Amino acid sequence: MKREEHTANEAKRKALDIRYLRMAFIWAENSYCVRRQVGALIVKDGMIISDGYNGTPAGFENVCEDEQGLTKPYVLHAEANAITKIACSSNSSLGSTLYVTASPCIECAKLIIQAGIRRVVYCEKYRLEDGVALLRRAGIEVILITTDELKAATAPIKP
């Protein structure tokens, strides 16, 4: 592959990464959580095959925080919701990309590894970075797209 083609492919991939990450932020708006809304999309072969946002398990009340404002222990992370949806479908996440608005925690990183996801693209850093470290140790490509990059890519085009 010529250098120009490689650069063009990288630019196209980055543009798609930004678009899917923007969509994950929109999907996060479905969350009933007050403290933090997180969204996730799983994409394979150019198709969204699953989605998720942080929230309570199916059949529970849509209240994520207790009276003290702390997250209830049974609230599912966006990544976990997206991955478990795959388990209930005929899709496979092997070789897919996960787009998530916040970097995965250690528990979600373990699920990502086991689900065969090969790339993770995220925007906001979680307070602990052990999840990202575990993903890299497992050979998963991890890409941070900063909020500044996201904003720059979504700025209106000036005439």
Show which residues are catalytic: 79
Q: String of b and e for 78-94 (b: at least 16 CB within 10 Å)?
A: bbbbbbbbbeeeeeebe
Q: Give the residue from 99, 37, 98 showing the smallest Cα distance to 62.
A: 37
Q: Give the C-alpha separation, 18 to 123, whole Å.
A: 10
Q: Give the residue from 56, 59, 94, 99 showing the smallest Cα distance to 79.
A: 99
